[in-house]
Amino acid sequence: MIKAGIIGATGYAGGELVRILTGHKDVEIKWYGSRSYIDKRYAEVYQNMFQIVDDRCMDDNMEELSKQVDVIFTATPQGLCASLVNDEILSRTKIVDLSADFRIQDVETYEAWYKIRHSAPQYIPEAVYGLCEINREAVKKARLVANPGCYPTCTTLSIYPLLKEGLIDPDTIIVDAKSGTSGAGRGAKVDNLYCEVNENIKAYGVASHRHTPEIEEQLGYAAGRPVLINFTPHLVPMNRGILITAYASLKREASYEEVKAAYDKYYDSEKFVRVLEKGVCPQTKWVEGSNYVDVNFQIDPRTKRVIMMGAMDNLVKGAAGQAVQNMNLMFGLKESEGLELVPMFP
């Protein structure tokens, strides 16, 4: 039985980790860390866990936690994991960090976009970017995994095959993204109040969203050279879900069959990436509550561009589900263990 600890267990991503790991046959949660609710019963914070989780919340003492568990999940704001991790901790336990602390390889880029000083840049070179479908073999050998961001996961998986196969011009990529309000976290913010969000849609982080360099870095690996994109996220009045619509110019004329073959080449054997049938556009409601990403594309011969689309649940494949997927790989378990969640409807 794998013993797991969660720091940040009372945020939305942390709560989703608890939900998934509670149903994982190979994992026992030993530590529900939450600085805001120390010594409060977890089921008082999340009533859905009444008579399911009897434990009380603990602090974020990673040093002590590392002596008790095999894996630590840090579902915390940027900067916390980097401020706590050290050689001793990594010698005792594996870490899956759901923050951005180890996702970006260049320290200056991280500090410029996140506006904080990086506390542990020495661990960046060894941290594995945990996009399982692309970095699976490296994840298996890792002791520190940087769990990807929600927008970067959906964007990269939607675009990756066409960039990798050289079918699109990297200099022409535009990404339009939409997310439910849980992506902003559980903290109280005026912009997330019901009256502010309901019956409304708005762009935010225009030309400045901090997931931009992460997306560019990952697409750059696929393209084999640096990539700059326009990335514009929008907040929509729903709890969960991300929808990506990305645009790029084709390098040459390509048929539906040729583009479809590129997606199939990379995703045919992937459990959690579903390439939809011709003419079917991804929808957030068909992936809600699951670890699936639905992707598809449409060629526009008039403009010689291709529209790439992806939909996923930002709290599952975009956070907690992908973290568990990474953990499964790190411990040699079946990759889908605990994650074979059928999407919820309605």
Confidence of residue 189 (pLDDT cuts 50, 70, 90): confident
Q: What architecture is the 151-313 domain classified under in CATH? A: 2-Layer Sandwich (3.30)
90, pLDDT greater than 90: yes
Residue 96: per-residue pLDDT: 98
Section 269-292 average pLDDT: 98
- How far is residue 249's CA from residue 65's CA, in Å, rounded to a whole number? 50
Write down the pTM of the prediction.
0.96
- How far is residue 123's CA from residue 82's CA, in Å, rounded to a whole number? 9
Confidence of residue 338 (pLDDT cuts 50, 70, 90): very high
Instruction: Write out the catalytic residue numbers.
Output: 150
Section 208-212 average pLDDT: 97
Section 222-247 average pLDDT: 97
Residue 32: per-residue pLDDT: 98
pLDDT in tens, 11-53: 999 999 999 999 999 999 999 999 999 999 999 999 999 999 9
185, pLDDT greater than 90: no
Computed over every residue of the chain, the mean pLDDT equals: 97
Could you check whether 2-126 and 151-313 share the same CATH topology?
no
Section 214-220 average pLDDT: 98
- How far is residue 264's CA from residue 104's CA, in Å, rounded to a whole number? 28
Residues 127-138: b if buried by 16+ CB within 10 A, e if exposed: bbbbbbbbbbee
Residue 187: per-residue pLDDT: 82
Q: How far is CA 316 from the centre of its chain?
A: 8
Token output for 101 = 């602390």
From residue 91, how far is each of 66, 78, 144, 266 by CA, in Å?
9, 23, 11, 34
Confidence of residue 63 (pLDDT cuts 50, 70, 90): very high
- How far is residue 4's CA from residue 21's CA, in Å, rounded to a whole number? 9
> What's 188-249 look like in SS3?
CCHHHCHHHHCCCCEECCCCCCCCHHHHHHHHHHHHCCCCCCEEEEEECCCCCCEEEEEEEE
Residue 300: per-residue pLDDT: 98
pLDDT in tens, 289-319: 999 999 999 999 999 999 999 999 999 999 9
- How far is residue 218's CA from residue 73's CA, in Å, rounded to a whole number? 23
188, pLDDT greater than 80: no
Residues forming beta bridges with residue 56, ordered by sequence position: 41
Closest CA to 65 of 47, 41, 38, 92: 92
Q: What are the structural domain ranges in the chain? A: 2-126, 151-313
pLDDT in tens, 45-59: 999 999 999 999 999
- How far is residue 102's CA from residue 87's CA, in Å, rounded to a whole number? 15
Closest CA to 292 of 281, 278, 282: 282
8 Å CB contact between 130 and 93: no
Confidence of residue 235 (pLDDT cuts 50, 70, 90): very high
CB hemisphere CA count around 337 (13 angstroms): 17
CATH class of 2-126: alpha beta
Do strands 242-249 and 71-74 pair parallel, antiparallel, or not at all (unpaired)?
Answer: unpaired
Residue 282: per-residue pLDDT: 98
Residue 186: per-residue pLDDT: 84
Q: How far is CA 261 from the centre of its chain?
A: 26
In the chain, % helix, strand, coil (3-state, to 5) comes to 35, 20, 40
8 Å CB contact between 243 and 307: no
8 Å CB contact between 284 and 242: yes
Residue 191: per-residue pLDDT: 86
215, pLDDT greater than 90: yes
8 Å CB contact between 146 and 135: no
Section 100-117 average pLDDT: 97
